[in-house]
Amino acid sequence: MSRKSKRNKKENLPVLKSETKNSAVAVLLVGLSIILLLSGFQKAGPIGRVIFNVLGKLFGGGYFLIPVVLLLVSLVFLIGEHKKLIGLTMLGSGLFVFCALGIVEIVSPDNGGLIGKVLGSFDILFGYYAGIIFNLTLMVVSVMIALNSPLKFNFNAEDQDVADKNGKDKKPRFTPAIPPEPAEDGTKILIGGEEVTQKEMETAEKETNAKKEETAKTEKPKEVKPLKVQSVTASWKNYVPPPIALLKTSNDKPTVGDLRGNANIIKRTLESFGIAVEMGEITIGPKVTRYTMKPAEGVKLSRIVALNQDLSLALAAHPIRIEAPIPGKALVGIEIPNKTATIVRLGNLLGYSDFASAPYLTFALGRDVGGEPVFANLAKMPHLMIAGTTGSGKSIMIHTLLVSLLYKNSPETMRMILIDPKRVELSVYEGIPHLMAPVITGGKKAVAALRFAIEEMDRRYGVLLNAGKRDILGYNDGLTGQGRKEGIMPYIVIVIDELADLMMTYGREVENSIVRLAQMARATGIHVVLSTQRPSVEVITGLIKANISSRIALQVASQIDSRTILDMSGAEKLLGGGDMLFTSTELSKPKRIQGAYMGSDEVEKVIEFINKENPAGAESGGMVGEIAETLEKKISEADFSDDDDELLNEAVEIVRASKKASASLLQRRLKVGYARAARLLDIMEEKGVIGPGDGAKPREVFIDNE
């Protein structure tokens, strides 16, 4: 107990601000300079005479330079904000005084004191004039050190301006020939992993604005170059993928404001609450800028996290996010929104060589806080859940995923089942050869499609067992040169755009199907992508959540919604417009990413190109054709049975056994809602199983146990 109390006392001790320390030192230096000045005129008593005698022997006639230098150093302590600047000023000032004493000794012997005799002895080695020049040279160097300023000769400034106007100087400003100088406080500024300076940032912002105007006037059509697709077999070997030129690109830079000023505000605000920190590097992303810092020993991270609102007020920025600690680093990160965000275009990301050489189910997520591209492999996830409010970028995230997969895969290697209860979001993909069936909009058809996926999963496990393979990748690799009857086994990606609507109408069937697929479908190449606007526990149930570990949380309305999707808060502080937190089994903490953007016109161009160059009738049976026929048959059967209910037989058996027919009975036994139970009663009444309702009297049952 005593140890804990001592630790608590140490943590509660007030910490002097650095500004207070500097002011105290400045006042002491001013007082000392006045005492030295009075000692020179014998006005400081016996102690003053001792000081004058000692320093007079050391400095000689340069004694009166000491009070002047001390006054200048005191000003530096009052104005200077950084320890390095203060140290350099003291070093330069001392060197200046010593060189001045050397010159005094050369010009007037025996008047430079002991220090002057040492430095004045250079006239013996170099002569009178060379000794003076040597000391003058050191004096110039001392002034440069004290002011921390180099000599600048801008003779060709006019010529340089002319060259810039004529467009001759087109070297990239973010890749200087020499390493960029760090900020005065040692803080590094990083964009896309490259270090830049504050001046380069300002120059880049001006260049970005100028390029926007020039591009609008002189933009030329891009050369259409298709993305190289990984090798495919059978009838789709001539598949033509869409060219990247169909997608828009952008090279704009964000506007971030005063980086060092914000860093100083963060440091001073934390110090005012008794938390000492050392600022680290600054990383600029598309939508936020992350300021890193290292807390002093003994500082609890919870104290920094608790100051979220205070930092937001001091920085005049909302919302800010504190990441404590940053994964893999002994640092704390504070993410502040940029003044002007930049759009992360999908066209820029798909042009990376990392994407071209990635596995089949790789798709572009966006760029992280450092501006680096982020890709994800759906095969490793192996299922994905996306949640976010209206306007958060959820639909664009789905389009980004689907278009990325279309760029990577032919219909022979990947097929899609699209379920769109809203009827308008995914209808644009109608007709592409990758679809196993038309876009599904009805709830009953969606249930039939999920049941088909389970049957297909079981069938594939049988195929893998007979072939002696563990997963779809090993099976497809083994087909080369084997001459087997069955062709390549395609991946199947099932996308459900609005899960909440299905869960409200067919909750039990949909949940059971999704859970079964999430538990077992990975090895067979069947992957599920769920999207919902309402991340509540009624939609994202415990079983679904436990079996889908890869999740994307866009901006949500409350901390409760964030905990539902991520098991932690944070998504409620996102900025919207594609700002997301991505978590998977490979990440220890959610990773903040600015999602890739593509407009509806870009999606339409890609789909139009695929339909034109790769007509849907080009396929020639095989495993892919059989799977598509089976799914269409399932959906058509669901069409004809719209008036019935798959639980009807169970309901009839319950009524027959209990000799009673009521909505509450069916609700308890079948675990369905009132609306579903009432519909089952209506169907049984139409088929003559039970009689009509008669007020408070029970319904008559017309069938017996036989």
pLDDT digits (tens, 9 = 90+) for 21-30: 777 888 888 8
Lowest mean pLDDT among 177-181, 398-402, 410-414, 599-603: 177-181
pLDDT for the residue 702: 81
pLDDT for the residue 251: 85
pLDDT for the residue 220: 39
**Domains of the chain by residue range:** 14-147, 181-201+225-238+253-342, 346-640, 643-706
Structure token digits, residue 444: 């009953």
pLDDT, average across residues 419-431: 90
* pTM recorded for the entire structure: 0.65
| 109 has a pLDDT exceeding 90 | no
| 202 has a pLDDT exceeding 80 | no
Higher pLDDT, 138 or 85: 138
| 15 has a pLDDT exceeding 60 | no
**517: amino acid identity, one letter:** L
Lowest mean pLDDT among 2-11, 242-251, 278-287, 541-550: 2-11
In the CATH scheme, what architecture does the domain 643-706 have?
Answer: Orthogonal Bundle (1.10)
CA distance 249 to 342: 12
Lowest mean pLDDT among 137-141, 220-224, 446-450: 220-224
Higher pLDDT, 525 or 56: 525
390 marked among binding-site residues: yes
Higher pLDDT, 188 or 37: 37
373: left (phi over 0), alpha (psi -120 to 50) or beta: beta
Higher pLDDT, 119 or 463: 463
C-alpha R_g of the chain: 37
Domains 181-201+225-238+253-342 and 643-706 share a fold: no
Share of the chain above pLDDT 70, in %: 73
Structure token digits, residue 119: 């430095």
**Residue 143's pLDDT band (boundaries 50, 70, 90)?**
confident
Q: Give the helix, strand, coil percentages of the chain, each rounded to 5.
A: 50, 15, 35
pLDDT, average across residues 633-638: 60
CATH no., domain 346-640: 3.40.50.300
600 marked among binding-site residues: no
Find the distance separating the first CA and the last CA of the chain, reported in whole Å. Answer: 77
505 marked among binding-site residues: no
**Residue 148's pLDDT band (boundaries 50, 70, 90)?**
low
261 marked among binding-site residues: no
Helices (H), 193-323: 198-218, 259-272, 301-305, 308-315
pLDDT for the residue 514: 94
Max mean pLDDT range (78-87, 126-135, 235-244, 285-294): 285-294
pLDDT for the residue 701: 85
149 marked among binding-site residues: no
20 marked among binding-site residues: no
pLDDT for the residue 199: 59
- 635 Cβ neighbours under 8 A, 6+ residues apart: 437, 440, 445, 448, 449
Q: Is the Cβ–Cβ distance between 467 and 478 less than 8 Å?
A: yes
- 39 Cβ neighbours under 8 A, 6+ residues apart: 48, 49, 51, 52
CATH no., domain 181-201+225-238+253-342: 3.30.980.40
| 215 has a pLDDT exceeding 50 | no
| 45 has a pLDDT exceeding 50 | yes
**Residue 221's pLDDT band (boundaries 50, 70, 90)?**
very low
Lowest mean pLDDT among 2-16, 192-206, 212-226, 542-556: 212-226
Max mean pLDDT range (341-345, 396-400, 542-546): 396-400
| 676 has a pLDDT exceeding 80 | yes
388 marked among binding-site residues: yes
| 131 has a pLDDT exceeding 90 | no
pLDDT for the residue 269: 93
> Which of 491, 487, 469 is closest to 362 using CA atoms?
491
Higher pLDDT, 54 or 223: 54
CA distance 436 to 420: 14
269 marked among binding-site residues: no
**Residue 364's pLDDT band (boundaries 50, 70, 90)?**
very high
